[in-house]
Structure 1
Amino acid sequence: MSTDSEIDNRTTRITRKGQVTIPKALREEFGLEEGDELRWEKTDDGIRVRKATGSAGRGMLADEDVSEEKREEMAAEMEAEIREKRRSEWQP
């Protein structure tokens, strides 16, 4: 487990495409893997990054007789709506 002083001394650069690399020690400590989604939250102190757990409830709102293909389609539509809503909330 990393100590606060070790984390404070780590920095990363933002690429031209707006990408950042999460230090390996932090990825391991928090169980972050390729394909995981992160949530960026604006706070009074700056930016907080959290692991998103959006797929945990996938399929809960669909009837049992709905095909897997239709469930995936419904999930994709909901994700797109959520992304658009979040984008509009972040616009100044």
Structure 2
Amino acid sequence: MSTENDVDGETTRITRKGQVTIPKKLREEFGLEEGDELLWQKTEEGIKVRKTTRSAGRGMLVDDDVSAEKREEMAEEMEAEIRSNRETEWTPE
């Protein structure tokens, strides 16, 4: 990985498998974590990458009378449980 800095960022290399490492500084600044989804968009200037929102489908399976605050709380609890399960259940072979 190259850490050559330009005016607005850092450069990295694409692996043979098409993978790219997001610089730690940017992951921390934008709150990017394992499992987050990124949207790659073609623009006139080139490629734009942005984090997709986690809340797009939140509350779809909850009754309509549940408040937005409660929906968000439930979604955050489920997300924390999923992350915890990923960390404890996965073992490298």
What's the TM-score bracket when you normalise by the shorter of the two chains? 0.5 to 0.7
**Residue identity in the other structure for 1:15:** T
Q: Deviations over 1:33-65 (max 9, x none)?
A: 111000000000100000011x4132544463x
Stretches of structure 2 that go unaligned for 5 or more consecutive residues are 1-5, 64-93
Name the residue aligned to 1:72.
none
Superposed structure 1 runs of 4+ greater than 2 Å apart? 57-64
**Bigger relative contact order (CA 8 A; separation at least 6):** 1
Give the TM-score normalised by structure 1.
0.55
Aligned counterparts of 1:17 and 1:56: Cα–Cα separation in 2: 30
Question: Structure 1 residue 43 and structure 2 residue 38: aligned?
Answer: no
Q: Give the root-mean-square deviation of aligned CA atoms.
A: 2.2
| Number of equivalences | 59
Aligned counterparts of 1:25 and 1:57: Cα–Cα separation in 2: 26
Stretches of structure 1 that go unaligned for 5 or more consecutive residues are 65-92
Written as runs of structure 1 = structure 2, the 5 A alignment for 1:9-88 is 10-53=10-53, 55-62=54-61, 64=63
Percent identical across equivalent pairs?
A: 64
